[in-house]
Amino acid sequence: MSYFCMVSRRVRFIFALAIFCAAAPLASRAEVSLSLSEAISLSRQHSYAIRSLYHDSLSARYDLAAARSLRYPALSATAVSSYTDGVQAIELPFTRIELGSHENYQADLRLTFPLYSGGRISSQIKLQSAIATSRGFNLEAEIFQTAYETRKAYLGLMITRSLLAAAEASLRRIEILNRDVQNLYRGGLADSIDILDSELALRRAAQARNDRRTGESNAAALLARLTGLPLSENIKLSELLPVPDYEHYENIDILPEKSDRPEMEILKSRAAAARHSIGLNRAALMPALNAFGGYTVGKPNRDLVDKDWNDYWTAGLNLTWEFNLGGRVFKGVSASREAARSAQLTADDLEESLQLAVRIAFENLGQAFGKYSSSQLEFEIAGRKYFLGAEKQKAGGLSVNRLLELEEDLDAAEQVFQSSIINYYLSETEYLYAIGSPKIYGGF
């Protein structure tokens, strides 16, 4: 009964102990403590993709502001200065009258205000607004994706460290068993086959421990890469996983009707942009009417013979109506219409895929909770079997080979149990990612 209580206590705290045991060989390295929310924050700051998409989003907002500025008047200024060697002249008996000036100066200021654009300006603004919205959701999607990848990497490091701790615990058990077999051999209670079996098991356990160390090192490198931390630092995971219970599972046991993933909004914005481009192409069929006013000063200006500076004001309307005989406008409208249909169909396809992904993630979450519950019981049973087998082997009622098999069963059950806890939270991460939940940015 005392061993059963010890196993239950170990079940309760095994994850926390596994993390600290696995980190022990790395104690000589510089250590940095990192919670999950801190890791996500660092990954967001370090991500080159997020920074790149931020500037893309900023560029789209400037394009939108530029499109809106088309509604405002435009002021243009031109200035020309030239010299003409020969000008026309009238030759008289006693004089020569030049019809022009060798030196020419002209300065113009013109203010143009759009009165009617046929929908060009409004369609351009709507198009740029949809593009800006799409790029904003691109940025949001990348931030969400980065949080998802960091959360998985954080849990991945947890699981490799727990498996490393289990492998080290198995190695310690084999070492103790190996010493016991050697003592029995010296006392004549074991033969050379028992010695060989224990030595072989010891080598296998040492190799398994080394393999787990490599896996832990790779997982730590991945998390360091995402967060931008130096590889020379040992990352201490300060976030401890609560043991899953049925109340926690019930609170997550909600299947939403649709996903709130930003990727869906990206495609909706692209479809809207394609629809607005239809209006922009159609606007080319309509005339454009602009009002203008201008001021001109020059020498000469109104009178080519007058060599003095003079100026004048102008005001009027400018009507432009372009007809393309090759059908360019109609073909552009058709192209935009097809692009809008394509974007909408892609959005519909993604919506169905996300709904399926949500349902699959929800089912996997329930399965992960069931595996955790069963692996907990199996680990307790395997621990008790090994304890009873060790006692029986010491009394000479059990072979060394059979005890090694029980130890392998215990090692496998321990690893499965430790993995089941983290796999539950990995499944929870997949579910939060599938539904687009903001909880993915927080802790467990």
Q: Would you list the domain boundaries of the chain? A: 2-72+118-286+327-441, 74-116+289-320
Under the banding of pLDDT at 50, 70 and 90, the label for residue 40 is very high
Under the banding of pLDDT at 50, 70 and 90, the label for residue 304 is low
Tell me how far CA of residue 442 lies from CA of 36, 429, 437, in angstroms: 7, 11, 10
Under the banding of pLDDT at 50, 70 and 90, the label for residue 31 is confident
Helix (H) / strand (E) element for 289: namely: strand 288-299
DSSP letters spanning 422-434: HHHHHHHHHHHHH
Confidence at residue 11, expressed as pLDDT on a 0 to 100 scale:
42
Confidence at residue 139, expressed as pLDDT on a 0 to 100 scale:
93
- The model's pLDDT over 325-363, given as tens digits with 9 standing for 90+, comes to 777 878 888 888 888 888 888 888 888 888 888 888 888
Give the whole-angstrom CA distance, residue 110 versus residue 371. Answer: 78
Under the banding of pLDDT at 50, 70 and 90, the label for residue 27 is very low
Do residues 85 and 275 make contact, with C-beta atoms less than 8 angstroms apart?
no
Is the pLDDT score of 428 beyond 80? yes
- The model's pLDDT over 371-397, given as tens digits with 9 standing for 90+, comes to 888 888 888 888 888 888 888 877 777
DSSP letters spanning 33-94: EE-HHHHHHHHHHH-HHHHHHHHHHHHHHHHHHHHHGGGS-EEEEEEEEEE-S---EEE-SS
- The model's pLDDT over 182-211, given as tens digits with 9 standing for 90+, comes to 777 777 766 777 778 778 888 888 898 899
- The model's pLDDT over 230-282, given as tens digits with 9 standing for 90+, comes to 887 788 888 777 777 655 555 565 666 667 788 888 888 888 888 888 888 88
Percent of the chain exceeding pLDDT 70 equals: 84
First to last CA, the chain: 33
Tell me how far CA of residue 68 lies from CA of 13, 123, 126, 278, in angstroms: 61, 10, 9, 19
Amino acid, res. 151? R
Tokens of 304: 């080519």
Tokens of 316: 């009027």
Lowest-confidence segment of 45-59, 92-106, 193-207, 311-325 by average pLDDT: 92-106
Is the pLDDT score of 158 beyond 50? yes
Q: What is the pLDDT averaged over residues 27-32?
A: 64
Tokens of 66: 């530029």
Write down the mean pLDDT value for the chain.
81
For 226-263, b/e burial (b = at least 16 CB within 10 A) is bbebeeeebbebebebeebeeeebeebeeeeeebebbb
Do residues 283 and 322 make contact, with C-beta atoms less than 8 angstroms apart?
no
pTM of the model: 0.75
Architecture field, domain 2-72+118-286+327-441: Up-down Bundle (1.20)
Is the pLDDT score of 10 beyond 70? no
21/125: higher pLDDT:
125
Amino acid, res. 357? A
Confidence at residue 249, expressed as pLDDT on a 0 to 100 scale:
56
Pick the closest to residue 393 from 414, 407, 412 (CA basis): 407
Is the pLDDT score of 32 beyond 50? yes
Confidence at residue 189, expressed as pLDDT on a 0 to 100 scale:
64
- The model's pLDDT over 110-147, given as tens digits with 9 standing for 90+, comes to 999 999 888 888 989 999 999 999 999 999 999 999 99
Architecture field, domain 74-116+289-320: Single Sheet (2.20)
Q: Could you give the 3-state DSSP secondary structure of residue 108? A: strand
Amino acid, res. 358? V
Do residues 294 and 314 make contact, with C-beta atoms less than 8 angstroms apart?
yes
Name the H helices within 187-240. 192-227
For residue 334, how far is the Cα from the chain centroid? 35
- The model's pLDDT over 306-332, given as tens digits with 9 standing for 90+, comes to 667 888 888 999 888 888 777 787 888
